[in-house]
């Protein structure tokens, strides 16, 4: 069986790091989570970083911190994409805000034209998804946000290590959310991170991530004595990461650039093999030479036929993603999403993991071409 994804860990190094955590006797928030936060902030060229238990938590906290600090009301609108994992848009609803799902470009990223058509006095932020590590026309999106005075949140769940013009993606975004789930580019068991642009919103998100408590247990224990004096001024959440996940993350971070280059090489082989076939539309990435390449996606007119062939040949494939507008709970938030609806019917994701062999990749390509 050739899977769609296969997690890869440097097991001996991870176990050594985890052993140190267990020997120290501190497996929760603090210690290695703080080490990782500093390392990740350097890696993505941001001042602030908060390690969390998932990207879903990061998305929620980003919106909560912005909403509280900027005084958004519950009927405030967040413009987002229908082509994403539901966590992106769930986070908007969790925060008591209104998702407005608009159309995408052929690269699956939010369309600047669709954004402009749907901005109104209730619009407070844009949720931009770097699907597969691609960034679409994010610079145009950011210019619109700056001009209109609205926040820009980057869902970089697929974008760990993704670059554009030699800079980490998300420069100037009000919030960036990352995923370190096991099959992602920087794998742990499951965790994520949030980087807020402004320090006051970072501080607020940090409080909210630990039940609204003013200081973490680790920081209150550094002096050697446990201190009970703290304040709680917000209803927060238990979204904190733990030191065991941070131990794995610190190992994975060392190999992120190397692993992403392997992914780009896999993508190049796919591209070269199928780009001349007019039955297949390769989903392009404007930053393809610097992309994290979490996904390699194509569009075909008869996806079910390809799916059947892959099943027979024991090859995994994915759909990233069905339009959220197809889900009952999101149909009410749909605007004009003609292109997203078209793409939702035919996009598919080919196997992408750093240990895929040349033989396995050739089998995927041959099966795809013969199925059409």
For the chain, the three-class secondary structure string (H helix, E strand, C coil) is CECCCCCCCCHHHHHHHHHHHHHHCCCCCCCHHHHHHHHHHHHCCCCCCEEECCHHHHHHHHHHHHHHHHCCCCCCEEEECCCCCHHHHHHHHHCCCEEEECCECCCCCECHHHHHHHCCCCEEEEEEECHHHCCCCHHHHHHHHHHHCCEEEEEECCCCCCEECCEECCCCCCEEEEECCCCCCCCCCCCEEEEECCHHHHHHHHHHHECCECCCHHHHHCCCCCCCCCCECCCCCECECCHHHHHHHHHHHHCHHHHHHHHHHHHHHHHHHHCCCCCCEECCCCCCCCCCCCCCEEECCCHHHHHHHHHHCCECCECCCCCHHHCHHHHHHECCCHHHHHHHHHEEECCCCCCCCHHHHHHHHHHHHHHC
Q: By C-alpha distance, which of 353, 350, 347 is closest to 364?
A: 350
**pTM for the whole thing?**
0.95
- Residue intervals of the chain classified under CATH 3.90.1150.10 are 256-371
Q: Identify the pLDDT of residue 227.
A: 64
- 241 neighbors 52 (Cβ within 8 angstroms): yes
- β-partners of residue 84 are none
Tell me the pLDDT of the chain (372 aa) as tens digits. 999 999 999 999 999 999 999 999 989 898 899 999 999 999 999 999 999 999 999 999 999 999 999 999 999 999 999 999 999 999 999 999 999 999 999 999 999 999 999 999 999 999 999 999 999 999 999 999 999 999 999 999 999 999 999 999 999 999 999 999 999 999 999 999 999 999 999 999 999 999 998 776 555 555 555 566 788 888 999 999 999 999 999 999 999 999 999 999 999 999 999 999 999 999 999 998 999 999 999 999 999 999 999 999 999 999 999 999 999 999 999 889 999 999 999 999 999 999 999 999 999 999 999 999
- Residue intervals of the chain classified under CATH 3.40.640.10 are 11-254
Q: Identify the pLDDT of residue 230.
A: 80
- How far apart CA 336 and CA 342 sit, in angstroms, is 12
Q: Identify the pLDDT of residue 334.
A: 84
Which residue in the block uniquely carries the two structure tokens 């929620």? 60
Residues 6+ apart with CB under 8 A from 35: 246, 250
Q: Chain-centre distance of CA 177, in angstroms? A: 6
Q: Identify the pLDDT of residue 57.
A: 99
CATH topology of domain 256-371: 3.90.1150
- 131 neighbors 84 (Cβ within 8 angstroms): yes
CATH topology of domain 11-254: 3.40.640
User: What does DSSP say about strands 297-299 and 347-349: parallel, antiparallel, or unpaired?
Assistant: antiparallel
Backbone angles phi, psi at 7, to 5 degrees: -60, 150
Cα dist from 310 to 132, 198, 272, 316, whole Å:
21, 47, 20, 7
Q: By C-alpha distance, which of 132, 124, 119, 94 is closest to 347?
A: 132
Beta carbons within 10 angstroms of residue 168's beta carbon: 19
Judged on CB neighbours under 10 Å (0-12, 13-18, 19+), 34 is middle
Q: Identify the pLDDT of residue 226.
A: 59
Encoding tokens for residue 27? Answer: 């497996």
Q: Identify the pLDDT of residue 26.
A: 87
């Amino acid at each position: 069986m050739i899977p769609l994804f296969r997690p890869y860990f440097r097991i001996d190094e991870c176990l050594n790091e985890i052993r140190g955590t267990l020997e120290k006797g501190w497996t929760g928030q603090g210690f290695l989570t703080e080490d990782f936060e500093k390392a990740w902030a350097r890696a993505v060229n941001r001042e602030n970083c908060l390690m969390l238990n998932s990207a879903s938590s990061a998305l929620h906290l980003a919106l909560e911190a912005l909403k509280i600090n900027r005084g958004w009301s519950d009927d405030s609108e967040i413009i987002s994409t229908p082509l994403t994992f539901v966590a992106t848009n769930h986070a908007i609803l969790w925060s008591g805000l209104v998702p407005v799902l608009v159309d995408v470009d052929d690269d699956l990223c939010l369309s600047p034209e669709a954004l402009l058509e749907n901005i109104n006095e209730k619009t407070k932020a844009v949720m931009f998804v770097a699907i597969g590590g691609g960034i679409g026309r994010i610079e145009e999106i950011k210019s619109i946000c700056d001009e209109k005075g609205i926040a820009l949140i980057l869902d970089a769940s697929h974008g760990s290590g993704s670059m554009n013009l030699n800079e980490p993606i998300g420069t100037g975004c009000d919030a960036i959310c990352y995923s370190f789930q096991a099959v992602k580019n920087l794998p742990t068991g499951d965790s994520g991170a949030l980087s807020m642009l402004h320090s006051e919103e970072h501080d607020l998100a940090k409080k909210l991530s630990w039940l609204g408590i003013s200081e973490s247990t680790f920081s209150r224990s550094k002096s050697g004595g446990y201190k009970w004096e703290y304040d709680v001024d917000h209803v927060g959440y238990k979204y904190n990461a733990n030191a065991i996940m941070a131990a794995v993350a610190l190992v994975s971070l060392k190999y992120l650039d190397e692993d992403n280059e392997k992914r780009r090489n896999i993508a190049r082989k796919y591209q070269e093999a199928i780009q001349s076939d007019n039955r297949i539309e390769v989903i392009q990435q404007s930053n393809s030479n610097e992309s994290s390449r979490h996904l390699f996606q194509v569009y075909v007119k008869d996806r079910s036929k390809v799916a059947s062939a892959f099943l027979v040949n024991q090859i995994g494939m994915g759909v990233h993603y069905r339009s959220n507008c197809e889900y009952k709970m999101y149909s009410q938030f749909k605007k004009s999403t003609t292109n997203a609806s078209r793409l939702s019917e035919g996009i598919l994701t080919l196997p992408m993991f750093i240990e895929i062999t040349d033989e396995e990749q050739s089998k995927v390509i041959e099966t795809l071409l013969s199925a059409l």
